[in-house]
Amino acid sequence: MMAALDSIERTDKGYLVDINDWNEEIAAELFAEEDIDPTQEHWDVVKYVRDEVVAGDEPNERGIMKAMGKIWGRKVTSKEMYAMFPGMPSKQGLKIGGCPMSTRKGGY
């Protein structure tokens, strides 16, 4: 049941058209759509990516890992990030965070 997403305009790739349509209910449905069962750490990544985009920046994998290392108080590996977000952390973070699709090429 994807009730909240039904009324939201999205691109053909499933990204929200309007970043302001986003809320945590929408994010929860997007997590489900991406086959991710979110932990607090998943939410940390999504909120960080969203905050960066709102501030006018677009984080890459390395930036996400560094930021999460600070929040989680330990070294974060790319292997761990990809285990959490198999479809690429920055890409899925943007999508689940209701942000526009990345225009960036590659991961770093």
Query: Residues 74-99: pLDDT tens digits?
Result: 999 999 999 999 999 999 999 999 99
Residue 57: alpha-carbon gap to chain centroid: 14
pLDDT at 76: 97
**Cβ contacts of 102 within 8 Å, gap of 6 or more:** 58, 90, 91, 94
pLDDT at 108: 44
Encode pLDDT of 19-56 as tens digits.
999 999 999 999 999 999 999 999 999 999 999 999 99
CA dist., res. 95 & res. 39, Å (int): 17
CA dist., res. 96 & res. 48, Å (int): 12
pLDDT at 106: 53
pLDDT at 102: 83
pTM: 0.92
